[in-house]
Structure formats: structure tokens, C-alpha cells
Chain A
Amino acid sequence: MSLKQGAALALAIATCVTGAAWADTIKVGVIASFSGPFAQYGTQYRQAIEAYQAQHGKTAGEHEIEFIYKDVGGTNPDQARALAQELLIRDRVDYLAGFTFTPNALAVASMATQSETPTVIFNAATSAINKDSEFFLRTSYTLWQVSVPLAEWAYDQGIRTVATTVTDYGPGIDAENAFREAFEAKGGEVIDEIRMPLSTTDFTPFIQRVRDQKPDAVFAFLPGGPPTFTFTKTYNENGLKAEGIRFLGTAETEEVNLQGLGDAAIGLTTAYHYSGAHDSDANRAFLAKLNELDPKAIANWASVGAYDGVHLIYQMVAAAGSDGPAAVEAVKSLEWESPRGPLKMDPETRTVIQNVYIREVERNPDTNLLQNTEKGIIATVGDLGWDK
């Protein structure tokens, strides 16, 4: 190598190194649904991200943070993969985020690992996802995390027999298994396990079957929106509530569709990690900012998942910039106060350890709106489904 070439090389290296230090905009690619039937999720994410940025500014450490949104439509693993590739190669993002559906998250696992890109999952709630990549971090919850404490709480309340009614798809079966295992371990009895087709429109037959068996409670897992609406209505109208058969659920009373459920929802008991009515300063500040930016915005699990996900990204960027492995290492045991309550990352599962609250739907006397009123903390747990 001649002196001239050596000098040029040294200059080139120097440019690269200093170039990296100056690269003060760190890009985060958000893959979520912004159109179609699931557009609500993307909207919730975007509102939460904007609220976080409005509260905490657009810089973390030395770096400015920019979010790039990509629309994946719905459950579409191929599209998720293609979008991740585009974000990584063309937009040169350093972080990935979003992911409402499990298949979409799984589709980008190998890419996240190869490119060492920390990927923050805002929702996808199947336990096994985080096993697929060391670079996956999750700020939502898993079905086991909320179903197991609910089953144990129910037993402690004197409920001895339960019929489970779940929608017949992956998450429903996960919820059924989690609930049964925990409830039977306590000594309770699951007297009927009903799996309802995903396309069910009239739930009366299932509800009537439950009623005829007279269990102490019915555990339900349904996808949000129309199925939950019809199920809870049918539950009330067929007199299960009057008969004293309690409703036990998880995400069914989420805030976006809660007002639509109407009075039929009052008294429904759910175990979950976030209620829009959570009583804390962090939550009030979050809600205030959210509504300041968009008066119609409603906070639910998707908003808080994204909000905490952005917090995690800010911490990673502040600690390690664009160095993926160092970034993940830096937040592996991070603790912080979220709008949902205190949070802590679990270094093994890379899912948050959080409080699970038992809540009841009530009408807020001041606003006259329905809300999930928290009645107590029934567990502080991480992902209980990791070893299943």
C-alpha cells in the first residue's frame, strides 16, 4: 500500500467514524395496520407515539428520533417481512416497532437477528415470539400473564366451577389452556370447554349451554369489536347475570369499543394490565396529552403498549445509539413508571413484568361514560407462558 493510498484509506475511515458520530437522526420503522378493518391499531400506536414525543421531545441522548410508519394491512406475514426489508435497506432504520399480530412479528424474527435490529413489539401476545429473536422486546402482555392470575383470583373468590368459552383460534386456545391449568391447579373444576367458531354471529346457543350447566362463572376470550359486543349482550339478555353466573374476561372490555357495549357491560369482571381509568399521575398526564393532540383519541392497551415501547426505544437510543446488541443489553432490566403502573423488563423473556389488575365495568358518575374501574392488583408477574 502506497503512502497516498494509506492516507486516503485513513481519511475514509475517519470520515466513516466521525460520520457515525454525527449521524444524529435515528430512524424507527413502525410496522402496523393503518388501513382496513384493523386500522384502529395503527391509529392507536401513532397517537401514543406522538403523545410521547410531545411530552419528552424528539431527542434521546445526542440523537434525534424519527418514526417511519408502514402499513401492513392486517395479518400478513409476507408483507410484514417485505416492509421490514424495505425499512432496513432503503430507509436504513436502526429500530423496528409495532406488530399487532403474532404471524407478522414471527416473520421478521430472522431479519431482526441478522441485522441486529432491536425490535419492540407493541402488541402480539403469543408467548413464544420472543424465543425467535434475541432482539425482540415486548411492551404489551401475554395471554398467560393475565389469564393465570384471573383463574387464581376467581378460585380465591369462592368460584369452584367454570365453563370456558373461547373463540376457536390461536389466542383463544392459549387463553383456554392458561385458564384451565391455573384453575385446576388451585382445585377448581372446568366443567365445560366450548370453542366457538371465529365466524359466530349469534352466541345464544353457547350462552344457553353454559346456563344449563349452572357454573359459578363463565370465562370468555373473544376478539375485540363485534363478537365481544354480541357475546356480552347475549350474556345479559339470557339472564346469566341474573342467575349469578359471573363473567370473567381479559381484553373484552377494552376502551375503544367499551362505550359501544352500553349498559350490558356494567359489572363485567376482567383481569388486565391497563385501564384507561388507572389512577396515577403518569396516566393522567398521558391521557391529557393524548386528548390535547386529538380530542377524539381514546387510550387502551394498544396505546399504552406503543407508549411504553417508545419509552424503551428512547432509553435504548440514549444508551447505545444505533448499536443494536448494546441497546438491548442496556434495557434488559429497565424499570420505569408507565401509565399502566410500575413496569420492569424481564431479562430472560424480554417481556414486561407488570401488575395485573382486577377490574369491573362501571359508569363514571362525573363523565357518565363506562370505564374499567380497578378493584385491586391480583398479581405482579412476567410472561407466565414462557416455559409452556
Chain B
Amino acid sequence: MSLLLNIAVDGVAYGMILFMIAVGLSVTMGLMRVVNLAHGGFAMIGGALAHWLLQDLGFGFWLAVPLAVAGTVALALPLERLIYRRIYDFGELQQVLATIGLTFLMIASVNLWQGSSLLSIPLPSALSQPVDLGFRTLPFHRIFVIALGLAVIIGLWWLIDRTRFGIKLRAAVDNRATASSIGIDTGKIYMASFGIGAGLAAIGGIFGAELLPIDAYYPLRYMVLFLIVVAIGGMGSIPGSFAAALGIGLTETAARYLVPDIATIAFFALVIALLALRPQGLMGRA
């Protein structure tokens, strides 16, 4: 029984971290139809900025985090304007090549700026305290991450389903030409959604750093993991990413508790089986 509870708690916390980083990718890949392999790069930039603000400039945690997220968005917007805007119309292979090149640029820049060692993001004591759950202790950080993940999914649902911006975004995605002919500034809409994607990546990078620590090679190290979440969830489906991230978190955690020696094999076998059955992902549009 306590084993099951352990798996549930650890799996959900891990899944939420995956969700927060990958949901931004799902937004850009699914809604904007750009295979953005540089997505992990934005998570890393968010983390590196947070590290810099906290460690080198001595800012407080709750000030450094919003600044780092804002800084990432501020970097992402001109990138969208200058580079991504030209990538939207490329074929998939060209998009992959362009964005992987961008990833290497990001890695090299962070490497030059902060070096290749770990960039720690120390948590405030309120977040790092262990909490006694009765059957075990859990760092408060994990509980916070679970809450934050839930807040992100509710916020996104509200934004896309219930606001004017969401209506325009969906219209622009479905038919860009028609949307702009009825007066929607699709360029601005795309830029804003790209910024949201990058900002979400930065939040995920910073709060996920406890499990996926930030260093210059972060975007390459975890690229496959993020892509798996989006592929299983179905591109562009936010509930899909959510279900996929939780599923992956729980499966991987369960495999590690029960069969540690073959955990990786079990995990990827499951991913292959799932994608063979549903190539469009759990909730993707076929």
C-alpha cells in the first residue's frame, strides 16, 4: 500500500514537471505547426537567468523567478520576429534543421557565459522543507510544483477557450489567410503565443531544476523526453500533454520502484506500443 502511494506521489510530481516544460512545446508545435527543437533551450535560458540573478546578482527568489521568465520571453519575442517567422512556412525537415541549429547556438552562448558546470537555483527555505505525509516525507517543493502545474493547465484552458485572444489564436491556426482577412493581426497573435510558449518553458525549467538540473547541455539532454510528452499527448492538445506527462511520470516512476534494472527498456517499450496503436497521440487530431 505504501509502495502504491509512493509511486502515485512521486509519479505525479515528476509528471507535473514534465508537463510544465513540455506544454509550451505542445503550444508551439501543435498550434503554430513549427517543430521547435529549441524549446528546451528556452527552459535552459530561463534557468540560467534565474541562476545568474540569484547567485551572481543576489536577488531574492520570488523576484528572480518572474524576472528570469520575463527575460526569457524578452529574448524569445525578437527571435520569433527575426527567425521563427521565416521558419513557419518551411517543410518539417527544414524546421528541424533550423531549430536544432538554434539549439546549438543557445548551448554555446550559455556555455560561454556561465560555463559548462551545473547552474544551481537554490530554493527558498519555504520550498525546500520536507513535509511529513504520514507514510513518508516529501519536499514541499514537489507539492508546490503539483499545484503550479494545475494552475498552468487551468490558466491555459481559460486563455484558449474563454478569451478573445484564444478565439483569435484558434482562428489564426485553423486558417491564417481567412483570419487575417477578417482583421485579425495574425503576426501579433503568433508572436504572443510564441512568447507564452517560451515563458512556460522558462517556468518549467526553473521549477523543474530540482529534477532536471540546468546546465549548458540541458536542451539536448532532455530533448527526447519533451518530444515524447508531446508525441504521446498529441500535438497541440493541452489536455493531451497533461495526460501524457502524468502517464509518463507515473509509468517511469513505477518501473523504477518495481523493476529498476529494466526501467528504461520498459518505459520505451510502452512508448513504442502506444504510438504504434495511436500514431496521432492520446488526444491529437488525426
Contact = CB atoms under 8 A, between A and B. Distances in A.
Interface of A: 37, 39-40, 168, 194-202, 204-206, 208-209, 211-212, 225-226, 229-230, 233, 237-239, 256-257, 259-263, 296
Interface stretch (B25-33, B76-84, B253-261): B253-261
A256 B117 contact: yes
Interface stretch (B91-99, B155-163, B181-189, B213-221): B213-221
Nearest to B9: A204
A230 B213 contact: yes
A201 B256 CA distance: 11
Nearest to B10: A204
A209 B257 contact: yes
Given A202-B10, A202-B211, A230-B210, A194 B260 contact: yes
B116 A39 contact: yes
B207 to A, nearest CB: 14
A209 B253 CA distance: 12
A195 B261 contact: yes
Nearest to A260: B118
A196 B141 CA distance: 24
Contacts of A200: 256, 263
Contact of B117 (A212, A257, A262): A257
A211 B264 CA distance: 22
A226 B253 contact: no
B260 A195 contact: yes
B118 A205 contact: no
Contacts of A263: 122
Chain B contact patch, size range? 35 or more
Contact of A262 (B6, B122, B138, B220): B122
28 contacts: A39-B116, A40-B115, A197-B263, A200-B263, A201-B14, A201-B225, A202-B10, A204-B253, A205-B7, A208-B6, A208-B136, A208-B257, A209-B260, A212-B2, A225-B215, A226-B118, A226-B212, A229-B213, A230-B210, A237-B128, A237-B138, A238-B138, A239-B130, A257-B118, A260-B119, A260-B120, A261-B118, A262-B120
Name the residue among B7, B120, B213 with the largest chain A CB count within 10 angstroms.
Answer: B213
A205 to B, nearest CB: 4
A167 to B, nearest CB: 11
B247 to A, nearest CB: 15
Interface SS of A by simple majority: helix
Given A168-B261, A196-B260, A225 B10 contact: no
B139 interface: yes
Given A168-B261, A237-B130, A237-B139, A205 B213 contact: no
B96 to A, nearest CB: 20
Given A202-B252, A226-B118, 10 more contacts: A37-B220, A39-B116, A204-B253, A226-B215, A233-B210, A237-B137, A237-B139, A239-B136, A260-B117, A263-B122
Contacts of A257: 117-118
Contacts of A39: 111, 116
A222 B263 CA distance: 17
Contacts, number: 98
Interface in B238-273: 252-253, 256-257, 260-261, 263-264
Contacts of A211: 136
Given A40-B117, A202-B211, A238 B256 contact: no
A244 to B, nearest CB: 14
Name the residue among A200, A212, A225, A226 with the largest chain B CB count within 10 angstroms.
Answer: A226
B4 to A, nearest CB: 12
B253 A261 contact: no
A199 B212 CA distance: 11
Interface in B117-153: 117-120, 122, 128, 130, 136-139, 141
Contacts of A260: 117-120, 213
Given A257-B118, A260-B118, A201 B257 contact: no
A238 B136 contact: yes
A199 B264 contact: yes
Contacts of A199: 264
Given A208-B136, A230-B211, A37 B117 contact: no
Name the residue among A40, A204, A209, A233 with the largest chain B CB count within 10 angstroms.
Answer: A204
B120 A205 contact: no
Contacts of B117: 40, 225, 256-257, 260
B252 A226 contact: no
B137 to A, nearest CB: 5
B260 A206 contact: yes
A42 to B, nearest CB: 11
Contacts of A212: 2
Contacts of A206: 256, 260
Interface in B1-50: 2, 6-7, 10, 14
Given A202-B253, A225-B118, A226-B118, A208 B10 contact: yes
B116 to A, nearest CB: 5
A194 B212 CA distance: 21
Contact of A261 (B120, B211, B217, B222): B120
Nearest to A208: B6
A205 B260 contact: yes
Name the residue among A237, A256, A263 with the largest chain B CB count within 10 angstroms.
Answer: A237
A194 B33 CA distance: 42
